[in-house]
Amino acid sequence: MKFKYYPAFILAAFIVTGCGMEGLPLAEDTDGGSRASTLQAADIASSGSQASTEISNGSFPLGSQASGAGASESTDLGGGSPGPSASAGNTSSSGSAESFAALHGALSVKGTSLTDQNGSSVRLYGMSTHGIAWFPQYVSYDAFRTLRDDWNTNCVRLALYTDEYNGYSNGGNQEELKSLVKEGIDYATDLGMYVIVDWHVLNDRDPNVHKEDAVGFFREISSLYGDHTNILYEICNEPNGSTTWDNIKSYANEVIPVIRENDADAVILVGTPTWSQDIHQAAASPLEFDNVMYTLHFYAATHTDDLRSRLETCVSEGLPVFISEFGMCDASGSGGNDFGQAEKWMELMDKYQISFCCWNLANKAETSSVLKSGCDKTSDWADDDLSESGRWIRERFRGQTE
Ligand code: IDC
């Protein structure tokens, strides 16, 4: 067991100012005006209005948005309750006294599968946080414990936005954000879960825009956690716009060696062009590193047969794919859920044993948030605390086997 325990340090009174996501620049936004908007969360928390979004061609436009945020201004980090040792019982999938991450240990990519320390293939599944800068209250031991024990998940994804308002490379307090990432890793480690550190490229479109920050960030995190076997690095969430696979490759060829200096065999997830939909481009020209998986993201009310058949083709031809983000709703993160399409995606992921994370653990007033916008609880959610998305995906996780 190679876990090193870092005492979880608590960000006392991590105050999020101007954290309303309405202040975020939009991917498709050409109106600089929205960038300047710094609505206070409290001003908008009650609005509850949903984004009205135009979806075209199955791609992912972040259309005009006016959804309310459920983030609280002054944040409770869940009390920072001390975790049990990493060998604490895990009532989730394994049913063993040993934790899931202890049981499976260091992962590697063999063919299209994630493979554990014993050579068996293993699937990771769980929730992605929303942007941790805006919703830090869910980066807590108790939230993750609930996801492990009640939702039957074995993995959590920490989404660190880069270029959105107050993101890591756009005004965010980098030290506080890194502390939050470290806390999240520590909580997941204590709970014997795997954890994905997601450098959430979105508004920046091309990961090269903030490459220097990415290099510094991943150097630091991998130097602290290089001996952990439960951490995966996702180096660019969703390149988009005119970003090409060659642009992404050139970024990956710089960032991956930085991580590998400290963590020689970590699994690294790499985003693909067009909001991580163009995995066929990665298949045509893969990276030359071991232990890499390519990400595909889907939103079930937007992406259907075409993207599923692309996934099927690429995986059948040998591409290792990790679905590190998906929603049951449309690509704006709102609109109606399409559970029929979501079920088809689930069946396909089961067929190919693909690992997956669902967007998002938050109480924002948008369809993809799994908590109701009126829910202030940060763990131990009852049925009534969950949104329609939350109720559906929790049921799905509960029935999931590795
Ligand atoms: C959305 C959030 C929304 C936020 C917006 C910021 O749900 O609250 O205002 O980002 O631009 C993605 C992205 C993910 C998006 C999500 C839904 O990875 O950041 O979150 N989505 O739009 N890709 C496809 C959909």
Among 52-66, 144-158, 266-280, 377-391, name the one with the lowest average pLDDT: 52-66
Question: Is residue 261 domain-resident?
Answer: yes
The tens digit of pLDDT for each residue in 111-155 reads 999 999 999 999 999 999 999 999 999 999 999 999 999 999 999
Question: Is residue 270 domain-resident?
Answer: yes
Under DSSP, the state recorded for 182 is H
pLDDT score of 385: 98
CB atoms within 10 A of CB 40: 15
Q: Which residue has the tokens 């997941």?
A: 188
Does residue 75 have a pLDDT over 70?
Answer: no
The tens digit of pLDDT for each residue in 330-387 reads 999 999 999 999 999 999 999 999 999 999 999 999 999 999 999 999 999 999 999 9
Q: Which domain holds residue 202?
A: 84-398
CB atoms within 10 A of CB 310: 17
Does residue 71 have a pLDDT over 80?
Answer: no
The tens digit of pLDDT for each residue in 38-57 reads 222 322 222 333 232 222 22
Question: Is residue 381 domain-resident?
Answer: yes
pLDDT score of 97: 61
Residue type (1 letter), 241: G
Query: Cα(104) to centroid of ligand 1, in Å?
Result: 31
Question: Is residue 282 domain-resident?
Answer: yes
Strand partners, 361: 129
CATH of the domain at 241: 3.20.20.80
Does residue 79 have a pLDDT over 70?
Answer: no
Q: How many domains does the chain have?
A: 1
The residue whose CA is least distant from atom 12 of ligand 1 is 331
> Please, are residues 135 and 129 in contact by the beta-carbon 8 Å criterion?
yes
Question: Is residue 365 domain-resident?
Answer: yes
Does residue 169 have a pLDDT over 80?
Answer: yes
pLDDT score of 90: 42
In 3D, which of 338, 387, 396, 391 has the Cα closest to residue 364?
Answer: 387
For the chain, how long is the longest CA-to-CA vector?
55
Question: Is residue 28 domain-resident?
Answer: no
Distances in whole angstroms, Cα of residue 147 to Cα of each of 127, 187, 324: 8, 12, 16
Question: Is residue 39 domain-resident?
Answer: no
> Does 238 participate in catalysis according to the annotation?
yes
Confidence of residue 98 (pLDDT cuts 50, 70, 90): confident
User: Which regions of 54-161 does DSSP assign to beta strands (E)?
Assistant: 108-110, 113-115, 125-131, 155-161
Which tokens is 287 given?
Answer: 């990276």
Query: Cα(175) to centroid of ligand 1, in Å?
Result: 24
The residue whose CA is least distant from atom 20 of ligand 1 is 333
Give me the catalytic one of 22, 164, 183, 238: 238
CB atoms within 10 A of CB 158: 24
Among 24-33, 183-192, 367-376, name the one with the lowest average pLDDT: 24-33
Under DSSP, the state recorded for 74 is B
Which atom of ligand 1 is least distant from the CA of 25?
11
Which atom of ligand 1 is least distant from the CA of 22?
9
Better-predicted residue by pLDDT, 205 or 15: 205
SS3 category, 138: helix
Does residue 322 have a pLDDT over 50?
Answer: yes
The residue whose CA is least distant from atom 1 of ligand 1 is 333
> Please, are residues 280 and 316 in contact by the beta-carbon 8 Å criterion?
no
| Protein residues whose CB sits closer than 6 Å to any atom of ligand 1 | 21, 24, 60, 62, 65, 164, 202, 237-238, 275, 297, 299, 325, 331-333, 359-360, 364, 366, 368
Does residue 37 have a pLDDT over 80?
Answer: no
Give me the catalytic one of 325, 366, 395, 402: 325
The residue whose CA is least distant from atom 3 of ligand 1 is 333
pLDDT score of 334: 97
Residue from 62, 161, 205, 387 whose mutation best tests the ligand 1 pocket (most atoms within 8 A of CB): 62
pLDDT score of 390: 98
Residue from 196, 337, 359 whose mutation best tests the ligand 1 pocket (most atoms within 8 A of CB): 359
The residue whose CA is least distant from atom 8 of ligand 1 is 21
Determine what percent of the chain is predicted with pLDDT higher than 70.
Answer: 76
Question: Is residue 359 domain-resident?
Answer: yes
- Cα(361)–Cα(317) distance, rounded to whole angstroms? 33
- Provide the mean pLDDT of the chain: 82
